[in-house]
Amino acid sequence: MSAFFEALQQKFGAQIQSISAEREEEIYVLFGDPDIRALAEYLRSAVEARLVTVFAEDRRSAEGVFFNYYVFERKGDTRYLIVRAPVRADHPEFPSLSAELPAVNWQEREIQDWFGLKADGHPNPRRVALHDNWPDVHPLCKDFPLETVLPPFEGERHIYRPALGEGVFQVPVGPVHAGTIEPGHFNFAVAGEPILYLQLRMFYTHKGTEKLFEKLPIPKAVFLAESISGDSSFSHGTAFCQAVERAAQMEVPLRALVMRTILLELERICNHVADIGAIATDVGFVVANAHASRLKEMLVSLNEQLTGNRLLRGMVCVGGVRRGWDIVQLASLRAAVDAFASEFQDLVALIDSSESTRDRLEQTGVLRPEKAKDLGVVGVAGRASGMDLDVRRDHPYAAYGRYSFRVPVYQVGDVIHRMQVRVDEVNESLGILRSAADDSLHGDFRAQVPPIPADRCALSAVEGWRGEIIHWIRTGPANHLERCKIKDPSLNNWPALVEAVQGNIIADFPVINKSFNLSYSGTDR
């Protein structure tokens, strides 16, 4: 046992009931108390650990209790530290961490909504995932049948904080929007043009995804994972398959790992270039958006040639990928990467040449690094605000350990730096694609899937194009799952939008929102 874990046991004594590592990627600590506040503070201060996610599991039938899981990441350690804390069924409460760690605000409230476990001391314990007029149900408890038909919703809907003060007005936007985006309610309080504060209400498109996973055989569940957030289909599908592969202790062929890396980077580039164009169009530079749209079309056409689907669906599977590539497809990949790289530089130069565009984007929607850290912001938005995090580098998966790349990090945290992170990442991704396209693409592209034992737990992380995606599973009997926890990066990042818009004008909200480009579906699940 390492010195760190020996120190942990010395400090917390009998509260540390066990420390186990079933695989290299994760270490489980069974804590004897639902109150982990002292442990969380020790991990944060002693080893500068980051709390990645918090979620719950109903284990009443097997172990007589609920469990809360706290996933920590330590700088320089590729393993995740997962603290498992019991919550008694006859006293379903646990002390909240949200006052000290705002990053878990929504996640603890989700536990309240889904499982009925009270986050004692939470600074804002209102419902978040279930809306106010839902009946008093807890859908992720095992005794809540998936087929339950709920009565018509009655009662009070969500009440927003009133706008107080002379000349202060509320401006509601949504939940139904004029574009093709999904529903979300933005309630602004303004004094003249500047935004005083913004209140968010999400979860209008809740699909019960985590509950649905419990009823599907694992091969079919891959398709459900791909539907979590449509523009991140391959990332979510890969995260799910990796979790199953780790639970089954499978060895995935190198060819499949390289192909997954290529497709993950194509998904990243495709969305980044679309966002760069969309940010330009939100400040009136529609010519730049036209160029970006043409480049995106070049990539989605390549996606279709490589996988049969423009959004890369139906390609990833447990054990690898569903089909290999021939010489013609690989030649198309290399040619498309070279053509895209040249034209992408032209797009960047075009945007950089526009002083009016830079004027609109600089110092707009600023998210300070200290606020980004408090809120646990990840991905593009985090790296533009000083958060030096990237799962590809910090917890290598697929074939990322074979390739070198730079993780761009800035401190300013405004719209133009969130766009610059995208530009830098596209250039790094092009380098990864060139290396991977010349790598080992011979041999098997899929491993035989063995029977998957029941009661195995595994965590998987993927750096989606928005940021860190987490899937945690517990396998069940008959090739099914007992639990699948999903965390999309948008769940972390929506609260950051509230901070970034303060002091800006409503006319700049669209471009600030687009610079984060968060997923409603991924958040709502």
**In a structure prediction context, what are the per-residue pLDDT tens digits for the chain, which is 525 residues long?**
578 888 888 888 889 988 988 788 899 999 989 999 999 999 998 888 999 999 999 999 999 999 999 999 998 889 999 999 999 999 999 999 999 999 999 999 999 999 999 999 999 999 999 988 888 899 999 999 988 888 888 877 788 888 888 888 989 888 888 777 788 999 999 988 899 999 999 998 888 999 999 989 999 999 999 999 989 999 999 999 999 999 999 999 999 999 999 999 999 999 999 999 999 999 889 999 999 999 999 999 999 999 999 999 999 999 999 999 999 999 999 999 999 999 999 999 999 999 999 999 999 999 999 999 999 999 999 999 999 999 999 999 999 999 999 999 999 999 999 999 999 999 999 999 999 998 878 889 999 999 899 999 999 999 999 999 999 999 999 999 999 999 999 999 999 999 999 999 998 999 999 999 999 999 998
Question: What are phi and psi for residue 409, nearest 5 degrees?
Answer: -135, 130
- Residue 92, in any domain of the structure: yes
Domain boundary (156, 177, 201) is at 201
Note whether residue 87 is domain-resident.
yes
Same domain for 196 and 261, yes or no, is: no
User: Which long-range contacts (C-beta less than 8 Å, at least 24 apart) are formed by 388-391?
Assistant: 389/50, 389/468, 390/463, 391/461, 391/462, 391/463, 391/468
DSSP reduced 3-state for 39: helix
How far apart are alpha carbons 288 and 346 in whole angstroms? 10
Task: For residues 286 and 430, state if they share a domain.
Answer: yes
Residue 416 lies in a domain: yes
Rounded Cα distance, 64 and 67, in Å = 10
pLDDT at residue number 502: 92
Residue 175: per-residue pLDDT: 87
Instruction: Output 323-331 pairs: Cβ under 8 A, ≥24 positions apart.
Output: 323/445, 324/255, 324/259, 324/441, 324/445, 325/259, 325/441, 329/305, 330/437, 330/441
Query: The domain spanning residue 450 has which CATH number?
Result: 1.10.645.10
pLDDT score recorded for residue 400: 96
Give dist(CA 44, CA 461) in Å, integer.
Answer: 21
Burial class (CB in 10 A: 0-12, 13-18, 19+), 57: buried
- The residue type of 127 is R
Helices (H) and strands (E) in the chain, counts: 18, 15
| 176 and 109 both lie in a single domain | no
Phi/psi at 84 (nearest 5 deg)? -110, 115
- Domain-located, residue 494: yes
User: Domains in the chain: how many in total?
Assistant: 3
Same domain, 174 and 219: no
Domain extent, residue 37, equals 3-120
Whole-structure pTM value: 0.94
CB 145 within 8 Å of CB 208: no
